[in-house]
Amino acid sequence: MDLVRDTLAGDFRAIARLLRRIEDQPLASRPLLKALYPHTGKAFLLGLTGPPGAGKSSLVDRLVTSFREMGLTVAVVAVDPTSPFTGGAVLGDRVRMQNHATDPGVFIRSLATRGSFGGLTPAVRGVVQVLDAAGFDRILIETVGVGQDEVDVVRLAQTTLVLTVPGLGDGIQAIKAGIMEIADILVLNKADRPGAEQALQELKAMMEMNRSLGVEKPWHPALVKVSARTGEGLNELLERIEAHRTFLTRERPDLLEAKRKDHLTRLILDLVREEAARRTQETLRQNRTWEDRLVQVLERRLDPYTLAEELMDQKHNDPDTP
Amino acid sequence: MDLVRDTLAGDFRAIARLLRRIEDQPLASRPLLKALYPHTGKAFLLGLTGPPGAGKSSLVDRLVTSFREMGLTVAVVAVDPTSPFTGGAVLGDRVRMQNHATDPGVFIRSLATRGSFGGLTPAVRGVVQVLDAAGFDRILIETVGVGQDEVDVVRLAQTTLVLTVPGLGDGIQAIKAGIMEIADILVLNKADRPGAEQALQELKAMMEMNRSLGVEKPWHPALVKVSARTGEGLNELLERIEAHRTFLTRERPDLLEAKRKDHLTRLILDLVREEAARRTQETLRQNRTWEDRLVQVLERRLDPYTLAEELMDQKHNDPDTP
């Protein structure tokens, strides 16, 4: 099985194996990612975030069905922040998504936060690259917006949906400024619930206020009321998503380009970070004299900042490092 | 005002200014941290984590009072994972902690997760170093255990308390294996609530099972039932904390030493990561030819992994970098 060739051909088994390989051996699988890279950049990435209970999975389910009806292939990356206390919600989502289990145009991947190799965003980035190269037309990245990490993940997308629901902890208060800023489309889900109209008015007022206060933005976030349960408002949401895509690809390709360049720079800095750490670990392992320096720091005869600087400069002189 | 001298003397205003300086200008304040470093390593660090609603702040409040009664000075670092949806709980805690506001032996610092400069753990590490140098006998690090980041933070401590409460989402299920592993002392809080006895038995059974399954560990986690509200069980908890401290400092200083060395290595790797990223950003800024290489990656004529490698190797040849 040629993992790269078969992934490019869209073979699900190859994709799954490749993803597992990257997760297990991030460094050894680097050549695979290099080989896939020229084939990326075609998928349209849609990010979805919102608090627990906002109905993200149900909405993703609806969107997948709609995209399939349009003849588009879809991949879903469900990011689980793996709370050590409450982790595992995404496994449930996966079960719920079994609607699409037999559809050869839908690939679903759950991703847990790992403490390993560079954090959540690099991990999701790798997965998205594989799915992009595999030829999916749309990639949905779904994450609970509980921390900076999750927000960063969603920013990988070209279009970002922020979900909220009526009656969620003081209504509008539940959406903080930080998360508002990243929304291209603000979605009020569970619009069939009591209090939906009031929540909608509050959101509108807040958006008006933001608009009047803020700098003139090239794209004003849209506000859409939906019910993932009944399907109400779904068509309007799809229109808004398409409108934002057209805006980026046709009207303001410069913004899309700037976004891509920003992501690329972040990716490169993350790669440099990890490579620098890897080289330093190797230096520490290979050269016993560093052991003494570590002990000196523990004994407070040297400070860790100076030692870190020494280690970086040593690397410059080490003929063994590439 | 000499920030370092006054911080070493325990001046609260100096400490607060120094902490703000480090947060705002992490790189420029590096010399201050270097100067403080020789004076660190004396404080005993106590980590506290648990799910929202476990009563962490109330217990911290009790512990602070108890430590003060023993004549010890105490600093509290309350880490807020700053959910973009629900952030800000720690501000409330701060208000609650006003019991100690006028006590010159208690310093309280809230710390929000920031996307900036290397993440949460490095930020907490810096704060702890300052408080340690300032001479506090005990430093309590309190965090909501919602993600890997928060768990990492708590691991900075020498003794880690994991809190749970009766009736919290399927009782025992609420504590996952990952968080159990880091507990030196497992605390069942709100023991005056119905269901406490059952929860205690479940916890005991789970700990027994872990013990029978797991590798023989040098320290078996203690289990303590407390009520932060009534003060019940607090003395036993304090004894357990002291017992673990004695275990580390007297019986097994080798374990304490290994822990310190592990933390130091992590710190150094984090410093190397950030320095490598900083140098790369500078390289990108200063040399326009990299701009072309970035564009080539965007056009898929080059892959980002190769470009990252080029950037790292370029640094080795650059006479301008130190």
Query: Structurally, how many domains does chain A consist of?
Result: 2
- Half-sphere exposure (CA, 13 Å, Cβ side) for A178? 22
Query: Is residue B269 less than 8 Å (CB to CB) from chain A?
Result: yes
Give the chain A residue nearest B172 (alpha carbons): A85
What pLDDT does B180 receive? 72
d(CA A256, CA A245): 10
Nearest chain A CA: its distance from B69 CA (Å):
31
Reduced to 3 states (helix: H, G, I; strand: E, B; else coil), residue A260 is: helix
Set of chain A residues whose Cβ sits within 8 Å of the Cβ of B274: 273
State the angle between helix axes of B234-246 and B56-69 in degrees (0 to 180), rounded to the nearest 10.
70
State whether A237 and A307 are in the same domain: no
Nearest chain B CA: its distance from A230 CA (Å):
26
**CB contact at 8 A, A141 and A157:** yes
- Half-sphere exposure (CA, 13 Å, Cβ side) for A25? 8
In the 8-state DSSP scheme, what is residue A165?
A: -
Whether residues A280 and B268 touch (CB distance < 8 A) is answered with yes
Whether residues A51 and B151 touch (CB distance < 8 A) is answered with no
Residue A168 lies in a domain: yes
Closest CA to B275 of A283, A280, A114: A280
Identify which has the larger pLDDT, B95 or B23: B23
Which one of A176, A298, A312 has the shortest CB-CB distance to B87?
A176
Residue B25 lies in a domain: no
Tell me: pLDDT of B111 over 50. Answer: yes
State whether A236 and A310 are in the same domain: no
Tell me: pLDDT of B295 over 90. Answer: yes
Query: Is residue B319 less than 8 Å (CB to CB) from chain A?
Result: no
Give the chain B residue nearest A35 (alpha carbons): B303
Nearest chain A CA: its distance from B295 CA (Å):
8
State whether A215 and A161 are in the same domain: yes
Instruction: Give the largest CA-CA distance in chain A.
Output: 69
What pLDDT does B90 receive? 45
Which one of A149, A257, A272 has the shortest CB-CB distance to B276?
A272
State whether A274 and A243 are in the same domain: no
pLDDT digits (tens, 9 = 90+) for B69-87: 999 999 999 886 554 444 4
Residue A78 lies in a domain: yes
d(CA A267, CA A148): 17
pLDDT digits (tens, 9 = 90+) for B115-152: 444 567 778 889 999 999 999 999 999 987 656 666 77
Set of chain B residues whose Cβ sits within 8 Å of the Cβ of A297: 264
Cβ neighbours of residue B66 closer than 8 Å, sequence gap 6 or more: B234, B238
Reduced to 3 states (helix: H, G, I; strand: E, B; else coil), residue B211 is: helix
Q: Using the 3D structure, point to which of A228, A252, A276 is the last residue of a domain.
A: A252
Residue A161 lies in a domain: yes
State the angle between helix axes of A56-69 and A89-96 in degrees (0 to 180), rounded to the nearest 10.
30
Which ipTM score applies to this complex?
0.84
Whether residues B271 and A305 touch (CB distance < 8 A) is answered with yes
Which one of B85, B175, B264 has the shortest CB-CB distance to A294?
B264
* Chain CA centroid to CA A5, Å: 25
Q: Using the 3D structure, point to which of B228, B253, B278 is the last residue of a domain.
A: B253
Reduced to 3 states (helix: H, G, I; strand: E, B; else coil), residue B217 is: coil
Mean pLDDT of chain B, nearest integer: 84
Which one of A115, A152, A297 has the shortest CB-CB distance to B264?
A297
What pLDDT does B204 receive? 87
Whether residues B308 and A33 touch (CB distance < 8 A) is answered with no
CATH number of residue A241's parent domain: 3.40.50.300
d(CA A260, CA A262): 5
Interface of B with A in 134-153 (CB under 8 A): 145-149, 151-152
d(CA A33, CA B306): 11
pLDDT digits (tens, 9 = 90+) for A86-139: 444 444 455 556 677 788 899 998 876 554 445 677 788 899 999 999 999 999
Interface of B with A in 79-138 (CB under 8 A): 81-87, 113-115
- The domain containing residue B279 runs over which residues? 268-317
What pLDDT does B176 receive? 57
Whether residues A276 and B276 touch (CB distance < 8 A) is answered with yes
State whether A274 and A244 are in the same domain: no
Instruction: Give the largest CA-CA distance in chain B.
Output: 69
Query: Is residue B175 less than 8 Å (CB to CB) from chain A?
Result: yes
Nearest chain B CA: its distance from A218 CA (Å):
23
Interface of B with A in 189-228 (CB under 8 A): none
Percent of chain B with pLDDT over 70: 83
Burial code (b: 16+ CB inside 10 Å, e: under 16) for A247-269 equals bbeeeeeeebeeeeeebbbbbbb
Residue A7 lies in a domain: no
Q: Using the 3D structure, point to which of A252, A277, A295 is the last residue of a domain.
A: A252
State whether B57 and B89 are in the same domain: yes
In the 8-state DSSP scheme, what is residue B108?
A: E
Cβ neighbours of residue A239 closer than 8 Å, sequence gap 6 or more: none
State whether A206 and A91 are in the same domain: yes
Residue B31 lies in a domain: no
Interstrand relation of A106-112 and A74-80 (parallel, antiparallel or unpaired): parallel
Cβ neighbours of residue A57 closer than 8 Å, sequence gap 6 or more: A78, A93, A96, A97, A142
Whether residues A308 and B271 touch (CB distance < 8 A) is answered with yes
d(CA B146, CA B143): 9
d(CA A65, CA A73): 10
Burial class from Cβ neighbours inside 10 Å (0-12, 13-18, 19+) for residue B34 reads middle
pTM of the model: 0.81
Question: How would you write the pLDDT of chain A (322 residues) with one tens digit per residue?
Answer: 799 999 999 999 999 999 988 888 888 889 999 999 999 999 999 999 887 778 888 999 999 999 999 999 999 998 865 544 444 444 445 555 667 778 889 999 887 655 444 567 778 889 999 999 999 999 999 987 656 666 777 778 999 999 988 876 544 444 555 667 788 999 999 999 888 898 888 888 878 877 777 666 788 889 999 999 999 999 999 999 999 999 999 999 999 999 999 999 999 999 999 899 999 999 998 888 898 999 999 999 999 999 999 998 875 444 444 4
Neighbours of A96 (CB within 10 A): 12
Interstrand relation of A159-164 and B185-188 (parallel, antiparallel or unpaired): unpaired
State whether B141 and B278 are in the same domain: no
d(CA A230, CA B252): 62
State whether B142 and B66 are in the same domain: yes
- The two three-digit tokens of residue A66, written as one number: 């709609």
| B140, β-bridge pairs | B46, B76
Set of chain B residues whose Cβ sits within 8 Å of the Cβ of A86: 51, 146, 169, 174
Interval B192-201 mean pLDDT: 88
Reduced to 3 states (helix: H, G, I; strand: E, B; else coil), residue A264 is: helix
Query: Is residue B181 less than 8 Å (CB to CB) from chain A?
Result: no
In the 8-state DSSP scheme, what is residue A250?
A: I
State whether A64 and A145 are in the same domain: yes
Residue A233 lies in a domain: yes
**CB contact at 8 A, B73 and B9:** no
Closest CA to A49 of A168, A157, A206: A157
What pLDDT does B86 receive? 42
State whether A95 and A196 are in the same domain: yes
Which pLDDT band holds residue B174 (cuts at 50, 70, 90)?
Answer: very low
Phi/psi for B55 (5° steps) reads 85, 35
- First CA to last CA distance, chain B: 32
Identify which has the larger pLDDT, A198 or B99: A198
What pLDDT does A105 receive? 92
Query: Is residue B307 less than 8 Å (CB to CB) from chain A?
Result: yes
Residue B261 lies in a domain: no
**CB contact at 8 A, A49 and A145:** yes
**CB contact at 8 A, A188 and A202:** no
d(CA B45, CA B184): 13
State whether A248 and A280 are in the same domain: no
Reduced to 3 states (helix: H, G, I; strand: E, B; else coil), residue A27 is: coil
pLDDT digits (tens, 9 = 90+) for B261-273: 999 999 999 999 9
- The two three-digit tokens of residue B209, written as one number: 């099972």
